[in-house]
Structure 1
Amino acid sequence: MLSIISTRDHEPRERLDFWNELIGSTYDGMSIDGVDGPFNASLGVWQSDAFRIVRPRSRPAMIVRHECGRTSSTKRTFLMHMTTQGQIEMEQRGRKSMLGPGDLVICAAEEYYRFNAATNHEMMVVEFDGATALDRLPTFEDHVARPIRAGLPGTRIIRRYMDSLWQEGREDLPPGQSTVHANILLDMTIACLSEPAGTLRPAADRTLAQLEDAIGARLDDYTLRPSSLAADLGIPLRTLQDVAARAGTTLNTMILRQRLQRGTQLLRKHSGASIADVADACGFSDPSYFARRFAQHFGISPSEYRSCN
């Protein structure tokens, strides 16, 4: 099930200490240093029988996992980090790289590594058993600390898959499905590691894919605006507007289209949910406005759409 923990309910002077205690209990040997200003963060955890997805979000910070945190000299664990917002410098085994939205990187959990986030940022983190990963891909170890870029088809697919899983996190998975999804996550990650860099999209197409993914990750956020997308991606607003224009649309239209499309999915899946609940889950604070835009876009009201599906 999905749980969300935040620093919001703690006094500002206590937040960093609280966060270090929380993160240290989640990942042994990890510590956080705030950069500038009051520290704020949240941590989403989706724990199932066979895997766990952790989704930390915070203000600028230095995240370090110390080698002394290893629990067993023989255990091997890999962590797949996918950046969903912000810009983060990553270092492990003497390798440094800058990660942007949609980029992923593999870390060796029992070794020292560091993330230096100079901006507000968010990541999705999945843990893989080392023996299983190496059995599936004997060269898995070679990919540690080598970033896999967002422009590759494999990284785009795994980002969307993880976002979809996250949307289901408020409900328990049916028996047996947890293991299936854990295996799929590992196989998709291996596919990303094995993908040739020559399949990268042109720069404009990569930015469009990043933009669509960033919108999809925040559809339930009432405050989502073109300016906040630019801040999340670390890309100038004018650049994003130009990318949308070349695709024959606008940023506001992209946001609206994805919200309405999410609405159709929720109307089909959750027959007992009210229209107001569906509107809220899609980022509409006013159910009447949601219903009006839905009818304009699909030519049918949300209630009528549900009855036909």
Structure 2
Amino acid sequence: MLDHVYFKIGVNTLPAQGELSVLFSGQAKPLPSHQIGPAVHDYYLVHTVMSGYGTFEIEGKRYDCKQGDTFIIFPEVLFTYAADRTSPWSYRWVAFKGPLAQPLLGRIGITPSEPVVCVRNLRTVTRLYRDLERAFQGSDYPELSDLEASGLLRLLLKEFGSDNTEKLAFDTLETVPDIERQIQQAIRLLSLQYAQPVSIEDLSRTLGYHRMHLSRMFKQATGLSPMKFLLKIRMERAVDLLTGSSHLSIDHIASSIGYADPSYFSKQFRKCFGVSPTEYRLNQQMLCPAHNHS
């Protein structure tokens, strides 16, 4: 690049058509007063200033940028950026697209009206950019490079979010009372760990609350005791497995949802639905005979 002191780029030769896809990453030091735009891109493009100075303009607003400042170009939004005439910036960048890009940036407070973040941990961000650039250089396995780049981009966005906490667009943990946060944690634990042997004592110990207090607060939040909530999750999963196309045996379904004893599982299922798991499956097959042959 004749208008740069140096210019390096790594291109993703096999970008996935997923929710967040890295296109390319690189670094450059343009000559004094070098300018890009006014123009538009059809992808997101992030620049982090490594040294020097420059300006960034978007939606009629101008931002004076220095080391650590990160500015984001949005698809189809008119922009201009230019290096300072006496102390031109150097920067690293990454381009990406995908349906998750806009909502994810919005959640960390980055929008066309708030397009600049000041990075505090420049060393970490520089390392992530460096790894992104290297991921696309000389790899024999472009599929693996794409996976690596997606992970690095998410880590990079996490750093931007950490430096932009006053603009985060979702509830932070600090705004939620401790007991409410612990109840949410209990709900997540039971919803994810239903296949494991779980007791209220284990749950209370994990969350640091007395079992009676936790049970009372849990029921106040959900309308169910922790163990009845766990039973509900297990029975819903049992129904999914009985009506799905997996054709698992009743023993296998029982162990999949946290019951070592299939007979006890069948007893609990009958209490909830009035029929045994086998009868429930047969009834569903009679209601949907085509499903039985799928």
TM-based fold match above 0.5: no
**TM-score (normalizing by structure 2):** 0.40
The alignment's TM-score, normalised by the length of structure 1, stands at 0.39
Which has the larger Rg?
Answer: 2
